Structure 1
Amino acid sequence: MPINETLAGYSDLAFRSAFLVYLLGFGLLISHYASKRVNAVEAKELVGSGPAVGLPGRIVEAPPKPLSERLGNMGVAVIVVGIGLHLASIVLRGFATERFPLGNMYEFVTMACAAAVVLGFGVLRGQRFRSLWVFLLPPVMILMFLAATVLYADAAPVVPALRSYWLPIHVTIVSIGSGVFMVAGVASVLYLLRMAQPEGAEGKGILGNLARRLPDAQTLDRLAYKTTIIGFPLFGAGVILGAIWAESAWGRFWGWDPKETMAFIAWVVYAAYLHARATSGWRDTKAAWINVAGFVAMLFNLFVINIVVSGLHSYAGLT
């Protein structure tokens, strides 16, 4: 199968451009995050000192938007551009190879990161959630950097074992579910950070300064729960469909291969989180720690199992 080198080059360029655009958006949102509280005070002062409203024949000028809000708006707009480039890199990779672009770890991580930022754009709407981009973008950019360096693979046909209609079904669902879990994991980490700051201690020390600009703990907990509710059935369906594919390819539904075993363990951990979240006495920090453990299991499965441990899924590693 011939490879369109031109489209493959454009795909790589779009991927690198998306990374740089995310980095620019991250810088703008960091500035938004740092200036958020100061500008809130300035805005109140402007409103309090403005001209009286309702005087006949007098035009009342609205106070200018605080710097924090302007920086946040620019940051989100830049992220939208980055999402467009990110998705373009995936589509171009598919056209360049004339196959579904999920044949190796580079492409899998690219898809998972795209799922995370697309979901982030969907759920992190409004001023109170905007600061969460500061914490979602770093893991996305770290994974993208690793994908473009350590995990990168040239555009090429997939190995014979992956030439199946199950590839776009199974791997797409698993990669999207992984991206959704990334958002849930970040939300749980921030929830734990918020809960670690006692009432009235916000602003004391580095952790206090980080926590004081975050939404309240219950909002973060609900965000983690709602996103896990989305990712859990997706990832579970991916595991089940993978078992069906295994029966077609290897003649058995389940063989305790290291990758499928670790994927099942991660799914069980997330099931434990949802159960704990609905159980009195566990629904606070204990449940959040289980959610974080689930995301750690996902990362362990992605990197350690794929790269270090050999098994039937080894062809999905650095090839």
Structure 2
Amino acid sequence: MTNDSLAQASDLAIWGAIVVLVPAMLAFLVHLASSGAAAQRRVERREPVAVGAGGPSVAAGTADLDLGAADAGPAKPAGSSRRWGVIGLQLTFLATFLTVAGTVLRGVSVGRAPLGNMYEFALVTASFALVIYSGWSLRKDRLWLGAFVTLPVLVILGAAKVAWYTEASQLMPALNSIWLIIHVTIAILSTALFTIGAALATAYLLRDRAETRGRVRGWIAALPEAARLERITYGIHIVAFPLWTFTLIAGAIWAEQAWGRYWGWDPKEVWTFIIWVVYAAYLHARATSSWSTRRATWVALVGFGCVIFNYVGVNLLMTGLHSYSGVAT
């Protein structure tokens, strides 16, 4: 039995989250631009002293020394630049509450975990990503990461409402299993971590390119130094990869219970394994001295591309035993 009032409340909460995330992302972008400009001005004021003393030039890393600090990231900007970041973070907290509330209301409206179709998968993914970022920001200064997280979450929620929306309904009989909660929840958590990992990887590649060219300017100067960004990127993937490994194993166990075999070369199974192989290759490349961290990070982004295809392409373009998108095609 579906509670239409709760389902409508869920829809309103998700729309509210989308509306709030837009100014949050804009505030984070203003924060990056203004704090980057402030950092550049500090570097320019110090440059004559550094050159006159025979110290390193801007191209050699003066900007990095100025911006780098502990793992918390770049030095905290003062004044209006930081204020914009705080505004973005506060709006993100509100959007996180609305997204989680909308997801919970969706599940309560149908009396089950909200894991039955693409729309619900997207809601839970966005919820996990926002909760992870919000919790992380409470422990460390991660204002510089806000725009890189709110943008993909906006895309996920926007696509969920516009292209993947499914009316609240009961589960298909094939999905009525405890393994739905175990397998799909861990898969979603992994996807959220891979999303944040891809955001960090993008930030690292942009900063690394600027440092290599000796032109750490504009909003790029607001990011932590490239080496620190790369370490954080690697750390996120170190957490996400075992979870995806569990997703693959749990899926095989569920398949044996539901269909009498552990593996059947279904498109979803194949692409889940491809994702595992690509991320394993990233972690191996990262630990291999003959591979640069930049090249290894590109492998991680290829892995995230596979995650996107597995979710969108496989669900909408391919048919198989995992055809539970709920989207009319």
Using the size of structure 2 for normalisation, the TM-score is 0.84
Instruction: Say if 1:214 and 1:40 are closer, same or farther in 2 by CA, change over 3 A.
Output: closer
Alignment of structure 1 residues 48-197 onto 2, 5 Å: 65-124=78-137, 129-197=142-210
Instruction: Say if 1:221 and 1:122 are closer, same or farther in 2 by CA, change over 3 A.
Output: farther
Alignment of structure 1 residues 255-274 onto 2, 5 Å: 255-274=264-283
* Post-superposition offset of 1:283: 4.3
* Post-superposition offset of 1:200: 2.8
Write the distance in 1 (CA, Å) between the matches of 2:215 and 2:141: 20
Write the distance in 1 (CA, Å) between the matches of 2:191 and 2:230: 19
Q: Which residue of 2 aligns with 1:11?
A: 10
Q: Which has the higher contact order (CA 8 A, sep 6+)?
A: 2
SS at match of 1:314: coil
Question: Which letter maps to 1:261?
Answer: V
Write the distance in 2 (CA, Å) between the matches of 1:181 and 1:152: 23
Checking the alignment, whether the CA contact within 8 Å between 2:28 and 2:144 is kept in structure 1 is yes
Checking the alignment, whether the CA contact within 8 Å between 1:39 and 1:67 is kept in structure 2 is no
- 1:21 maps onto 2:30 in alignment: no
SS at match of 1:196: helix
Identify which of 214, 235, 240 aligns with 1:200: 214
May I ask how many residue pairs the two structures share in their alignment? 294
- 1:242 maps onto 2:242 in alignment: no
Structure 2 residues without counterparts, runs of 5 or longer: 44-76
Write the distance in 2 (CA, Å) between the matches of 1:200 and 1:288: 20
1:225-274 CA-to-partner distances (Å, cap 9, x unmatched) read 11111111111111111111100100001111001110110011111111
Q: Which residue of 1 aligns with 2:240?
A: 231
Checking the alignment, whether the CA contact within 8 Å between 1:33 and 1:131 is kept in structure 2 is yes
Q: Which residue of 2 aligns with 1:30?
A: 29
* Post-superposition offset of 1:69: 1.1
Using the size of structure 1 for normalisation, the TM-score is 0.87
Write the distance in 1 (CA, Å) between the matches of 2:152 and 2:295: 23
1:33-90 CA-to-partner distances (Å, cap 9, x unmatched) read 121134558999xxxxxxxxxxxxxxxxxxx950011111111111111111111111
Checking the alignment, whether the CA contact within 8 Å between 1:152 and 1:318 is kept in structure 2 is yes
Of 109-118 and 164-173, more deviation after overlay is shown by 109-118
Over aligned residue pairs, what C-alpha RMSD do you find? Answer: 2.0
* Post-superposition offset of 1:147: 0.3
Q: Which residue of 2 aligns with 1:56?
A: none
Instruction: Say if 1:216 and 1:43 are closer, same or farther in 2 by CA, change over 3 A.
Output: closer
1:253-301 CA-to-partner distances (Å, cap 9, x unmatched) read 1111001110110011111111111111224111101100100000010
Instruction: Say if 1:308 and 1:289 are closer, same or farther in 2 by CA, change over 3 A.
Output: same
Checking the alignment, whether the CA contact within 8 Å between 1:129 and 1:215 is kept in structure 2 is no
Identify which of 297, 310, 314 aligns with 1:305: 314
- 1:277 maps onto 2:276 in alignment: no
